[in-house]
Structure 1
């Protein structure tokens, strides 16, 4: 559920921990250690027992890394966290650096000395990630050394126990396809590709394959596990049996050989002489090291579950629609509350985020929020992936912008929505830029494109109105979304680097924005379902388009109607008519009255 990221007040303790870690490295004959912010599954969200980077440095963001040498240390975060890292991390202990501009591999190449032995936990680095680190060490004349047992775990004396949350069966009514049928399909695909097996390390891929869900990680409804899919035999599933009720254990036992997690790496030894698929961007390097040592042939390729998981079946699509109607009704009730209370004063970013979660919880269907709510007022809205803390939480003030990017996990679907609202009266520049963002949003929503089109080809549609005004945004336009799974799901995305062709059934976000540092920011986000489009008269090929799933009004007070074309204005009015029809029957009379006004046709 919603939580703030408050800067720790343990700078002295961090220094002691750094001293203890360096002593442990000396004992092991190491000159340094690379500390990524991930777990053995390369997850975006990690359990408390895997928060090594936070324990060592105090940094609690969702992406980052540190490198510790005996005489210096650095922490690397991306642009989302440049403010947070300086608030949470003692710069006298760790030099803050930009994860993209100066990644750890670059820093190591520049700083490491010849002959140094730099340790790394091969279960916490992907194959490709470890390769980059090895190249950097070689160029510096240093050696990258895999460690036996993570050194941080040795000195982290009060490390939490791994999660033991119960696993539940995901109902067929929501899954749409039985686990047995999914497994059989994957086995056929392995055989057709000439593969004997595939290693699956991503918990959401495993959850989808076996139709299970869990609560091991915040916001991501999965159970931590590994799987070996076999082309000619039942899969092997490695999961802590203490998480399994008798019913769940029996169901999984009919699908797979179920073993404990500590049996996973030894089981790879049994693949000697086999050709095994490993995803180099999503699997730990230790997996390939073990396979190669056993005499297996490693075939690098994409996780075979990614594409079938991304292409939602009929039940998952209907579930997504139902989840968005429910979520839209909750969000509408929140907007009524916000408009009534924000002008009175007394609200801040934290209280508003908690109120929104409360409206979702009132549905009786909320399992969790789908990510940490981005609740930004005024200048904080200009930080595109802002994470609110009690120290940074700003009050909601009159005549200002408030941006809220949030989502929910329901059993039938995952939601993600951003709305930018005005409190009081917006100035003309706010309205102009909001309308430019809206035009880019409409450009994606109304796009019709040939089969085979990728997100990289669509990305510019969201930016052209902004480009014409000399503006742009520094994040992707959209990411894939799962079915009661990860809110950030691949392989599809709308971005300059989005190379996967869209297929019907995929869900992707549509979220252009513009950010004025120190002033305010604007983003409009809906989720879109890829659908077959009607053949265009005179056209010669099948086309695809989008069905908008999100059903929440867009703040009409921020729209400059005169800037819109007739087609864009028609889109806004048609969208608002859909919102009213979709969620109007689900809300109380007072909210319905507000909704009718909020979705009325645009005025000149």
Structure 2
């Protein structure tokens, strides 16, 4: 019995004591964050699967883990010999988490979980399933915590202030805007659990999740007061004083669970069901009316203001300089020494951190050579990484957190000779990427509308990629942010943003790919700002402004596969890359960039 089997067996013993038939362990903290701190990595600790998303269910007889298409290969490898069965989400014949619970739960059975790690909508759905079996939901106990003896402490990193020269608006202005949205929704109280919305609202940042500059906290506000529930030792005196000037009062982190119990009958509290944990929701008195609305901060935060937009453009120039230097370094040195995926990741980080405005990475760098690149979210470690050989493709997906904004870029680099098939596949991915960058569309279009534009070149050849095409990106915040995303699947849970219309100022990724298991992976990613185009009798047209400025791999492009318009866009892009980034580089790097961005002729 290995360590994961032992841990699951201990959990099953605790389940038996509590009379639970199934126990749910999601990938979540108390704020429904996408990425979580070490204290909250219960699913990874139990199962051995370390991906950033996945759900574990343990029954009396078995343990099953649900992972999405980004992690099929990684999860299969990590779950070997753990006794945990991999459930490939979306695959034919694979039940959903909800279907599995309904099937496995006996009559009058009990489903257990830590209610702070599921959101309101999930809790309600589980209750509906349980009704069919006359079952019960026990969500008051953290059973994993009871057996996790060396569990890391909850993070309480220092909070710091974000100046308005970066934020573009004062915290007082933002609070006023949120109150206006509350009034419009008919609410006099608003409970905010999502940490990125909170730090945006208060013009603060922290470091309580690796690479995500957020603060473990809640906010409950009304038309007069803003209560900020935070770990007090994380807030220095000068930060507290600045917040108090804006009418923000500080309270202990867990006090919010008691304070919501004191809401009045006349109160109408606004919460977002997919951001608020079920235990917190259940603490609201039954006599208090709950209004389910998207956090106004999420919408306001997603539409970058003019100051943020200008800063974002500057951040991407800084980032492009680092990435161009990295690509030159890689091409120059591959085959001459011991370059591994891990050492390459560290080198790319070092180039970014040379800029004084770079505060951190925006996520763990994905450096993947050859077959490893077929795992979408593969990340090397010092002990487990491949050597980069002078042949085939090398993929790097990386980004930085700058005072001027958050970056996210993927490039697939030729480190040696390529096959004709590799070039064709690279060009198909690039073609879809260019088509989205060139897209012009009427206001009201969403990611579900636009995704077909990107996938068409691949679909025409019976190919596809098993992840979304694009996600929103924060400002010195989470690299994955709503409210928008680009994904054609209308029934995707947790992907409601693919029906949100694109608004001026939204920052979104453009990242199609193609992954051939055991062979290679390709992904090409830029970030784009949405802006208004012309307005006429047909309505308001919208378009994208690309803000990432790093060359594509010329030697992997088959120009005969591109239309004239696509090739013209590509050459104009490369011309701008050289003119903008070239002057920032050393002589040798600049000479390489001139060649890397040279005009590609029609064939």
Give 1:296's aligned residue: 288
2:244 and 2:378 mapped to 1: Cα distance? 44
2:189 aligns with one of 197, 205, 211: 197
TM-score (norm 1): 0.94
SS of residue matched to 2:199: helix
Give 2:376's aligned residue: 384
2:139 aligns with one of 139, 142, 146: 146
SS of residue matched to 1:305: helix
Give 2:201's aligned residue: 209
SS of residue matched to 1:522: strand
Is structure 2 residue 411 aligned with structure 1 residue 419? Answer: yes
Give 2:310's aligned residue: 318
1:109 and 1:390 mapped to 2: Cα distance? 42
Does the aligned pair in 2 maintain the 1:64–1:99 contact within 8 Å? no
SS of residue matched to 2:456: helix
Unaligned runs of 5+ in 2: 491-497
CA gap 1:86/1:447 in 2 versus in 1, 3 angstroms: closer
Give 1:3's aligned residue: none
Pick which of 363-372 and 132-141 moved more. 132-141
CA gap 1:472/1:263 in 2 versus in 1, 3 angstroms: same
1:223 and 1:565 mapped to 2: Cα distance? 47
Is structure 2 residue 555 aligned with structure 1 residue 557? Answer: yes
Q: How does 1:166-565 map to 2 (within 5 A)?
A: 166-230=158-222, 232-254=223-245, 255-273=247-265, 274-293=267-286, 295-344=287-336, 346-389=338-381, 393-496=385-488, 497=490, 498-535=498-535, 540-565=538-563
CA gap 1:238/1:559 in 2 versus in 1, 3 angstroms: same
Give 1:589's aligned residue: 587
CA gap 1:217/1:377 in 2 versus in 1, 3 angstroms: same
1:563 and 1:220 mapped to 2: Cα distance? 39
Pick which of 198-207 and 82-91 moved more. 82-91
Give 2:57's aligned residue: 67
CA displacement at 1:281 relative to structure 2: 1.4
Q: Deviations over 1:194-241 (max 9, x none)?
A: 1111211100000100000001111100111001121x2111110011
Does the aligned pair in 1 maintain the 2:166–2:308 contact within 8 Å? yes
CA displacement at 1:132 relative to structure 2: 2.6
1:114 aligns with one of 104, 107, 111: 107
Q: Deviations over 1:462-511 (max 9, x none)?
A: 11222222322222211100100011000111221411111111000111
Q: How does 1:71-150 map to 2 (within 5 A)?
A: 71-89=61-79, 91-100=81-90, 101-147=94-140, 149-150=141-142
1:350 and 1:308 mapped to 2: Cα distance? 38
Is structure 2 residue 51 aligned with structure 1 residue 51? Answer: no
CA displacement at 1:392 relative to structure 2: 5.3
CA displacement at 1:160 relative to structure 2: 1.6
1:358 and 1:445 mapped to 2: Cα distance? 30
Give 2:493's aligned residue: none
CA displacement at 1:435 relative to structure 2: 1.4
CA gap 1:271/1:141 in 2 versus in 1, 3 angstroms: closer
Does the aligned pair in 1 maintain the 2:156–2:216 contact within 8 Å? no
CA displacement at 1:345 relative to structure 2: 5.3
CA displacement at 1:104 relative to structure 2: 2.5
TM-score (norm 2): 0.94
CA displacement at 1:441 relative to structure 2: 1.0
CA displacement at 1:352 relative to structure 2: 1.4
1:47 and 1:433 mapped to 2: Cα distance? 37
Give 2:495's aligned residue: none
SS of residue matched to 1:562: helix
2:24 aligns with one of 31, 34, 46: 34
1:29 and 1:382 mapped to 2: Cα distance? 42
1:597 and 1:14 mapped to 2: Cα distance? 52
Is structure 2 residue 590 aligned with structure 1 residue 600? Answer: no
Give 1:7's aligned residue: none
Task: Give the aligned CA root-mean-square deviation in angstroms.
Answer: 1.8
CA gap 1:94/1:566 in 2 versus in 1, 3 angstroms: closer
CA displacement at 1:168 relative to structure 2: 0.1
Does the aligned pair in 2 maintain the 1:345–1:397 contact within 8 Å? no
1:216 and 1:51 mapped to 2: Cα distance? 14
